[in-house]
Structure 1
């Protein structure tokens, strides 16, 4: 029977089934140990002939066997965990005639596994909420007939219907005039947004308004939500280097524990002290604190519309000291907009702009459509231009409503005439911003000046300041744009350095040079940024605009079109790593103190098992703090001003 689930979801369901089976085993062995402890305690009062010690031993043996199997399995794949200490302590308890301590350790160990399952489940719940919402059914138009099909049968070009309240099954373009979309599950934005006809809508979002038609642009497996599912899977399986180091610490902890236990027995002559040391040194879920913290950090980031491809990406981000940004669409809005507008005395601003947009309908210039959309967005009606003549690279002239218009460069419109006073401020603003100026004359009279520019995002200065506060020491820009525009943006933002006119290969070279100096992240949004994102220690893609190639190449994808989420991701990574380190250091420190106390006879085996469980619980609860945190806060004080202006040279990145 064919599965109706997309591949990524089916794989995750298999993983989930395996986890559920593992949890069932944990509960079973925990129940055996608890029942065995209770029966042993009740045996003297029930007049049973069976000795309590035998009952406790029998209840402990299944846990010992299961643990031994787990240790052998891990050893065969090259992993050695601290669970070996639990195996030694339970076995030693039975051999030394202290089965009560053994069954208590068994309860603590299996209870620790249950605590581990709970902690992981809590830390992963936001990631699960993403995967559990995967669309399964699509409504496809076949002529005039609407048919329900499986999502994995949808192909690019299909015409679909999305009903009110339904998930969008695939990426596609809106075919109706407008739609209200709830993107909160994907981007973290709480309020629905209105999308216009022709805009790209992403799978996994929700139709918050009336039903609309969707022109599919990708199959389910190639859509945004399938990519999210793949990243969720990576986030749950990838292991950070920090965690692997914690695992290898077991190779040191096990022999140390055996040596301390042996010394305690040899110096005191009391085997019970050695057993107490073994019991109190059983940090079953202690080393788990690191993965719980990192999964918690990844989960918290997901709530902010930040998807990280596993704990390794989160840890690598925490070590970044250099940030490289693309310009267009990353530091800037990625599209020209009206930044300044001035008209001659007696000329209506709205009328001048309407006439200019009417004339621009006949232009092939890249900014023409921006002007047209701007005027239409204000509810103005455009007229049809006539007798149009275009001057390549200079401008355009023609008649609109019987009036002769000329629009373009200063030389085309003004010739050698001086600039009038009313236009000087706008012209100066254009020079400061390296913007495009459009001069307009009406019936031979210079009437208006329009300034268009790719404006810096509103949140860019704040985002860069937060990165510096948190510990990023060097922020540079590498862009394919021309040097004048690039250096103007770099100066306004106080960047340390800027490289312009760079090809994708030269961007990669720049990233490699910076990465050789100190850990570096690259932030970009376009397809041409993908090689540089892959070359950086950490690649961050501004994926809200659907740049699939850059998102696939990146380690982290920002699903909402806001640069401040880059700073938020960095802040989360720092806090997460600090919590993980704190949990391990404090937990092992407390265990060390308890081992010394046990070696001197101050702690019995049973008391040691209970004490160790208290330590483990405290450490894991501390690790779960990575799920929360002061949003928008980062270490350090107020951002300092940047002392070094960017170098305005054509220096090659490799230099």
Structure 2
């Protein structure tokens, strides 16, 4: 309909112009008047529809200006206004279609059917008929219809619909796959673990529908602006008529004050922002949440699973005299295979990562709060929070001290009633968390608060690294809600969490943000914003987009209003005829709507664009970090052995550490200096952005060379000398700390720039 209206009004304007050119002014006026009437009818309908919705705004000015041009015989101006109205509406509709493209594509891609194995054949069934346990077939290029586990040997999957990341992932049999993922390989079989309605993609679609249907506060602000703009327009038009005695001036004022698509620039900017955010793997329930996120100044964060990975990992293994670290880990992980506890899973994962062959346990029993006991290779092994003797051995006392300082949890290992070792586990900080906090500060967050149910020690350690303003540990869900409400009373507050216990606090905040990739359904349902990818830095991206969209929306609306008011002044003074005013108003409307569409583009404060080659380099060095991280413990283990006086074992460990440094670590560092850092110079604004890392490489080189010299001296004499022990010990501890800091800094400053790569360090 709009396309036909545009054609009719444009044809009327052109035909009238041709008639005037060939000396038929009466025919020209008749054609222009007809074009005015063609636009007047739908314009009147739009006004009536708005009034029925309880809205009364600037569309009234459009109708009055069309009627005015007909009344005073300004037929050319009427034809121009008709073209302006029709093209403006068409432009606004096209802009909104473009702005909502990503949201609509999300809805349109939702699968309607699934192919289910039935006996010896395959049947196509409605998606709602799929139940947990059904085996489904997903062909190449098809979307996984429900949350499931892979039953095929392996699968290649594209998770970009969920995460915004185009990197393909490979999963093996038994691994979980979320609905919404695209099969990028051959046909696979999956076993449903959830129904369609409770699966990941269905939840995202529900959020997207809400996002498309919700109006933002900034849009309501535009409506309020229209409420005073209309009486102002009528006042200026009436004053011009009374002052000059010319109805033409009043009509000219009405013509230049006809911003029908003008105030639609605000919702276009907001919807553009929603579309931009959806590409980042962030689902926003609606414009209201986006606008509130854009003006928030306080952020409250949960700890576990939000700023930390939520997946504990082994940080160290301590063995008693006569036992090796490998054997302690093997026995503990073998016993823990039957335990569902998160720490037990972390111990098993650590053993698998280190290539330890596990034995099948027997007679396993588990006591809540204590741990598991099982028979492994004829030995009775107990792992967990075991009671220590009144006078613990020195190594156990030292382990307790280290655990307190490192904010780690200790899993003690007992074999046949004898304490033989301990495994220290910690929930590591997300590598992208420090950089995210800095970007949030730059985006306007002035207060960061951490609320956690964890102990004070780990919370304070994490808070110190992130620069948190206030830390509240050992908080119950009710206390979290109370604290969030108190923060909300003082400022617009964002709450970020992932667990079931965070859902009430998310609902209590001005804006609730859920880590939805691995978080609970309850927290996602309670949240206004869901991060569908397991990356905290997407929160900073979303906030920057929200602030930019809100700024552009207000800028577009206010600029258009100011320009219209200035034009009204010239028209009231008789300096701007109605026809010229119509052309000017069309230019104003077009300008502000195009300006609103800027919200679709990447802002300056968002992550820099990286070339394909640079992304490849980051992936390479990030993968090398993951491979080397466990080997860094060789350096620390050598120091521990030397510190306890076991120089023979320390020399053996030192040989392994030196081989790792010379053959793996240093080539990696040198390759970064040669290839990665120069590639990052352009997107990061110059070579100075990586200068600090290069300086750290030089210090790593120096300490590595010093360590190698100590090893050569020890090899020449057959043992580590007493005279060299002190300097060697300082060198080992210093190198380990330097490398740990260097890895963390690179991961948060450089590797986190790449979509899809946040190392789980």
TM-score (norm 2): 0.74
- The equivalent of 1:517 in structure 2 is 490
Pair 464,429 (structure 1): closer, same or farther in 2 beyond 3 Å: farther
Q: CA deviation at 1:533?
A: 1.4
Is 1:579 the counterpart of 2:566? The answer is no
Change (3 A) 1:165 1:389: closer
Name the counterpart of 1:148: 124
Following the alignment from structure 1 to structure 2, what is the Cα–Cα distance between the partners of residues 392 and 157?
30
Structural RMSD (CA) = 2.9
Match of 1:40 among 5, 9, 16: 16
Corresponding residue of 2:29:
53
Aligned-partner Cα distance in 2 for 1:467–1:529? 21
The partner residue of 1:315 within 284, 288, 291 is 291
Change (3 A) 1:102 1:184: same
Q: Does 1:236 align with 2:209?
A: no
Asked if the contact 1:338–1:452 (Cα under 8 Å) also holds between the matched residues in 2, the reply is yes
1:624 aligns with 2:597: yes
1:215 Cα deviation from its structure 2 partner: 2.0
Aligned to 1:381: 357
Structure 2: gaps of 5 or more residues: 608-688, 690-761
- Give the C-alpha shift of residue 452 in structure 1: 0.6
List aligned pairs for 1:446-525, cutoff 5 A.
448-525=421-498
Residues 1:404 and 1:76: Cα distance change in structure 2 (over 3 Å): closer
Structure 2 Cα separation of the partners of residues 116 and 388 of structure 1: 67
Aligned position for 1:183 = 159
| 1:606 corresponds to | 579
Who is 1:260 aligned against? 236
Q: Separation in 1 of the partners of 2:324 and 2:534?
A: 35
Distance 1:198 1:138 in 2: 20
Q: How does 1:185-584 map to 2 (within 5 A)?
A: 185-342=161-318, 349-361=325-337, 366-385=342-361, 400-401=376-377, 412=388, 415-419=391-395, 424=398, 428-440=401-413, 448-545=421-518, 547-584=520-557
* Superposition TM-score, scaled by structure 1 size: 0.86
Please report how far the alpha carbon of residue 441 of structure 1 lies from its aligned counterpart in structure 2 after TM superposition.
6.9
Separation in 1, partners of 2:104, 2:525? 21
Residue in structure 1 matching 2:103, options 119, 122, 127: 127
> Per-residue displacement from partner, 1:376-416 (whole Å, max 9, x unpaired)?
34443212457889888666777755678665568648953
Q: CA deviation at 1:229?
A: 2.3
Shift of 1:367: 2.0
Higher relative contact order (CA 8 A, sep 6+): 1
Which residue does the alignment assign to 1:11? none
Equivalent residue, structure 2, for 1:651: none
Runs (5+) with no aligned partner, structure 1: 1-24, 639-655
Which string of whole-angstrom CA distances, capped at 9 and with x for unpartnered residues, describes residues 66-100 of structure 1? 11121112112210121211111111011001111
- CA–CA separation in structure 2 for the residues paired with 1:153 and 1:396: 41
Measure, in 2, the Cα distance between the counterparts of 1:394 and 1:416: 18
The CA distance in 1 between the partners of 2:486 and 2:265, in whole Å, is 36
Contact kept? 2:371, 2:386, Cα under 8 Å: no
Return the alpha-carbon distance in structure 1 between the equivalents of residues 82 and 327 of structure 2: 83
Aligned residues: 608
TM-aligned CA distance change 1:446 to 1:272, over 3 Å: same
Are residues 352 and 74 of structure 1, via their aligned partners in 2, closer, same or farther at CA, if it must alter by over 3 Å?
same
Structure-2 separation of matches of 1:580 and 1:234:
20
Q: 1:568 to 1:600 in 2, by over 3 A?
A: same
From the superposition, tell whether residues 392 and 145 of structure 1 become closer, same or farther in structure 2 (CA, over 3 Å). closer
